[in-house]
């Protein structure tokens, strides 16, 4: 039947009824209003679910536009109006101001003095690939028991590290030290519930079905099917996808968060499915990243994907950092951030001094932006030097978006060191259970996730055991 025929049929079969008062829909309208108002209020003031850190997403959006090379001075007046409306619970004004800020962000003039414009912008994979250097290796033996063990240890390390970071994200080194002292273990009973792994599972589902031919469209449709909600860049991308705006437009259209950490936090899975093949890991990270991010935001995912891919064949985390840096185009701003961070690692004998330099250099960026978190990863990997406990200690004490950072670099250490390199103090409280909020996967076994990953890779390579 044609669409018009379907609609005509339902109308012709509908018989008039008289609804009782309690059958009418006004109460539903009230609920929808309350839900929408709460969503808007959360943009002005919220607490990170895992750690309770304060967050003001709308102000972060304006901050991000300045980082992206635009003059956002005119928005400060609107921010102050919005803060006043929020304090007075004036939802009529708060809704109006919020919409106006997003409108004005799309009209911002370019700041010609911003250093952002000194770097090349990358919007095309082939252009990116031609300006990056990738190490080459023989194919990894994916039918081996060693491969299975590396994948399993990588997942275990990622999940434990993420649980560590979830409780402490969004704070500074100084304040973490004041409250917790030197963090060397979980600060509370750990749980695996966070948003970081959500998008990796959606990628894996698409990869299971399409293998190395998986497209951004394939992954994006899994987002819509499996992920009930998102935050910052992912939230906007989900709304774009549901409105029929597909990648790459879904990643940058009306998305001030397009260079935040949301792509960087999910690069590990791309490296896992491309062991010892950093070029392919980077390509898959590009395919995945452009769903919700653009340019430097996508490079964040490539950086982590390449490091995880390298960890299957390289045991020295400092070498891995060097090779991953070369996989970023030298004329990009992301390269300059990682390069600066590595130079500070070489300059100072302690991670604390290196981090102080990087933190000061990157103070204008939000704690959810890709840059300060990339710097935190670099320093923790450099000074942790392959030791899981030490790496987790450093990445915890650096603050920022700790769960994202710890999970990604934890995967690297897990693949290199195996389960024997992860003390049981980390694994025993977690066990084999993984809790998520993704549809159809709210309760998983880590062992099942590992097997699923291995089987999907072998299937994609068209190999059988």
Closest C-alpha to 292, from 246, 351, 329? 246
The angle formed by the CA atoms of residues 196, 291 and 99, to the nearest 5 degrees, is 90
**Residue 127 in marked binding region:** no
**Residue 423 in marked binding region:** no
**Residue 196 in marked binding region:** yes
Cα-flanking dihedrals φ and ψ of residue 443, to 5°?
A: -135, 115
Q: Quote the CA–CA distance of 19 and 41 in Å, as a whole number.
A: 35
Cα-flanking dihedrals φ and ψ of residue 57, to 5°?
A: -60, -40
**Residue 195 in marked binding region:** yes
- Known binding residues are 195-196, 401, 403
Annotated binding-site residue numbers for Mg(2+): 195-196, 401, 403
């Amino acid at each position: 039947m044609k669409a018009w025929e379907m609609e005509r049929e339902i109308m012709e079969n509908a018989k008039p009824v008289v609804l009782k008062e309690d059958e009418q829909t006004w109460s539903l309208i009230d609920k929808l209003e309350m839900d929408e108002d709460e969503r808007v209020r959360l943009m002005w003031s919220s607490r990170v679910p895992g750690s309770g850190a304060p967050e003001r997403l709308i102000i972060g959006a304006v901050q991000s536009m300045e980082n992206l090379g635009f003059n956002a001075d005119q928005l400060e007046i609107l921010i102050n109006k919005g803060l006043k409306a929020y304090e007075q619970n004036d939802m009529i004004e708060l809704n109006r101001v919020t919409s106006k800020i997003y409108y004005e962000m799309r009209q911002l003039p370019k700041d010609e003095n911003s250093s952002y414009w000194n770097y090349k912008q990358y919007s095309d994979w082939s252009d990116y690939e031609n300006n990056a250097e990738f190490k080459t290796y023989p194919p990894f033996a994916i039918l081996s028991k060693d491969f299975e063990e590396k994948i399993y240890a990588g997942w275990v390390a990622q999940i434990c590290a993420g649980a560590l970071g979830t409780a402490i994200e969004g704070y500074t080194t100084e304040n973490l030290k004041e409250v917790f002292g030197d963090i060397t273990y979980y600060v509370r009973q750990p749980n695996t519930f966070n948003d970081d792994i959500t998008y990796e599972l959606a990628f894996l589902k698409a990869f299971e079905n399409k293998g190395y031919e998986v497209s951004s469209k394939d992954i994006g449709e899994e987002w819509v099917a499996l992920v009930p909600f998102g935050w910052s860049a992912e939230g906007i991308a989900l709304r774009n996808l549901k409105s029929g705006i597909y990648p790459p437009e879904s990643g940058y259209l009306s998305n001030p968060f397009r260079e935040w950490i949301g792509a960087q936090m999910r690069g590990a899975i791309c490296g896992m499915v491309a062991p010892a093949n950093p070029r392919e890991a980077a390509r898959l990270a590009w395919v995945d990243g452009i769903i919700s991010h653009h340019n430097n935001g996508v490079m964040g995912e490539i950086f982590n994907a390449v490091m995880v891919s390298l960890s299957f064949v390289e045991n020295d985390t400092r070498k891995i950092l060097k090779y991953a840096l070369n996989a970023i185009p030298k004329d990009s701003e992301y390269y300059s951030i990682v390069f600066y961070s590595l130079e500070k690692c070489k300059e100072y004998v302690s991670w604390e001094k290196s981090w102080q330099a990087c933190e000061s250099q990157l103070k204008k960026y939000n704690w959810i932006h890709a840059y300060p978190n990339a710097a935190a990863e670099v320093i923790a990997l450099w000074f942790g030097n392959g030791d899981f406990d030490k790496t987790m200690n450093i990445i915890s004490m650096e603050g920022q978006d700790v769960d994202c950072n710890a999970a990604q670099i934890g995967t690297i250490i897990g693949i290199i060191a195996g389960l024997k390199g992860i003390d049981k103090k980390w694994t025993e409280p977690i066990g084999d259970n993984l809790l998520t909020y993704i549809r159809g996967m709210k309760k998983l076994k880590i062992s099942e996730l590992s097997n699923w990953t291995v089987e999907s890779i072998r299937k994609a390579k068209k190999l059988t055991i």
